């Protein structure tokens, strides 16, 4: 937690919440969560308890990036479902309040594991965390889009083509020089996209163990975090993101499990 200045007008937020959020009582103080969130995230400390605020970053942004309104919508739809999420309280789309859109949700307390090696756990406890992670991913892909009001949450079909096109476009908008390996990757992905097979589910878009909170006393997911990239698409995309960690190097370079004796460490195999 960063105790530096909140980076926004806390009085303005308190006034707005007093008018729009049932049960809220100011004043409030704010602390920024540590870590590299693309959407800055803060703990709000108030007389009525603690909440979490996520906002779009200020300044010029890439089109469709930092979609906090989509985060709010999907988590609100999933509240009290088999997919554990924080309870959403209120979305503010009035940029005059603090300069960008934001939303406020409940604060879920739990354990966050920054690395899939799960070094903080005893060896015998690690396998159960991965089992729970897989259970939650299956629950995401089993969401009834129509029943949850998410049938229009993303386009139908051509998911891989849309993703490669979108990220290529955003890369082009940000690049400062030609990088040959990136050009090779873009060409390879475009030439090797899987054929469309008709599967369409809710997709988290960034499903990793460090985007989950787990209960303090059990291998149970308390909340899935960071829904910024969620949409409707092919479930194998999320599955691929999970499996990728088995081929990535451990530590800050890749946050993966490559080269680790997973059986000896109590970690799940990749097959």
Position 191 scores a pLDDT of: 95
CB 214 within 8 A of CB 227: no
Each residue's pLDDT tens digit, 45-100: 998 899 999 998 765 555 555 689 999 999 999 999 999 999 999 999 999 999 99
Give mean pLDDT, residues 240-248.
90
Secondary-structure percent of the chain, ordered helix, strand, coil, rounded to 5: 30, 15, 55
DSSP state string for 146-176: TTTT-TTSS-SS-HHHHHHHHHHHHHHHH-S
What b-and-e string marks burial along 155-177, b requiring 16 or more CB atoms within 10 Å of the CB? eeeebbeebbebeeeeeeeeeee
DSSP 196: P
What separation in angstroms does the CA of 147 have from each of 81, 158, 227, 230?
11, 23, 19, 17
Mean pLDDT of the chain: 91
What separation in angstroms does the CA of 64 have from each of 145, 228, 259?
22, 10, 38
- The three-state secondary structure class of 210 is helix
- Residue 258: left (phi > 0), alpha (psi -120 to 50), or beta? beta
Give the DSSP H/E element, type plus range, for residue 191: helix 180-191
What separation in angstroms does the CA of 242 have from each of 19, 111, 131, 248, 257?
42, 19, 12, 11, 11
Give mean pLDDT, residues 2-16.
78
| pTM attached to this predicted model | 0.90
CA-CA distance, 170 to 65, in Å (whole number)? 9
Position 12 scores a pLDDT of: 96
Each residue's pLDDT tens digit, 70-82: 999 999 999 999 9
Which residues lie across from 55 on neighbouring strands? 102
CA-CA distance, 23 to 106, in Å (whole number)? 13
CATH of domain 110-157+198-271: 3.90.1200.10
Position 4 scores a pLDDT of: 46
CATH architecture of 10-106: 2-Layer Sandwich (3.30)
Give mean pLDDT, residues 30-37.
79
């Amino acid at each position: 937690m960063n105790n530096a200045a909140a980076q926004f007008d806390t009085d303005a937020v308190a006034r707005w919440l007093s008018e729009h959020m049932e049960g809220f009582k100011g004043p409030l103080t704010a602390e920024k969560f540590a870590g590299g969130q693309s959407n800055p995230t803060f703990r709000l400390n108030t007389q009525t308890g603690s909440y979490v605020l996520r906002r779009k970053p200020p300044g010029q942004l890439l089109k469709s990036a930092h979609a906090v309104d989509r985060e709010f919508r999907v988590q609100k739809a999933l509240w009290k479902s088999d997919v554990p999420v924080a309870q959403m309280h209120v979305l503010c789309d009035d940029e005059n309040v603090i300069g960008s859109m934001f939303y406020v949700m409940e604060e879920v307390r739990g354990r966050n594991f920054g690395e899939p090696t799960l070094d903080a756990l005893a060896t015998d406890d690690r396998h159960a965390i991965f089992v729970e992670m897989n259970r939650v991913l299956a629950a995401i892909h089993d969401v009834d889009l129509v029943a949850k009001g998410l049938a229009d949450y993303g386009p139908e079909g051509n998911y891989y083509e849309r993703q490669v096109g979108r990220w290529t476009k955003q890369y082009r908008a940000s690049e400062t020089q030609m990088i040959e390996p990136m050009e090779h990757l873009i060409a390879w992905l475009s030439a090797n996209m899987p054929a469309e097979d008709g599967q369409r589910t809710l997709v988290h878009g960034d499903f990793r163990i460090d985007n989950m909170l787990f209960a303090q006393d059990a291998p149970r997911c308390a909340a899935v975090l960071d829904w910024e990239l969620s949409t409707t698409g092919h479930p194998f995309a999320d599955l691929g993101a999970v499996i990728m960690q088995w081929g990535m190097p451990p530590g800050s370079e890749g946050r993966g499990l490559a080269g680790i004796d997973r059986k000896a460490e109590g970690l799940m195999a990749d097959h």
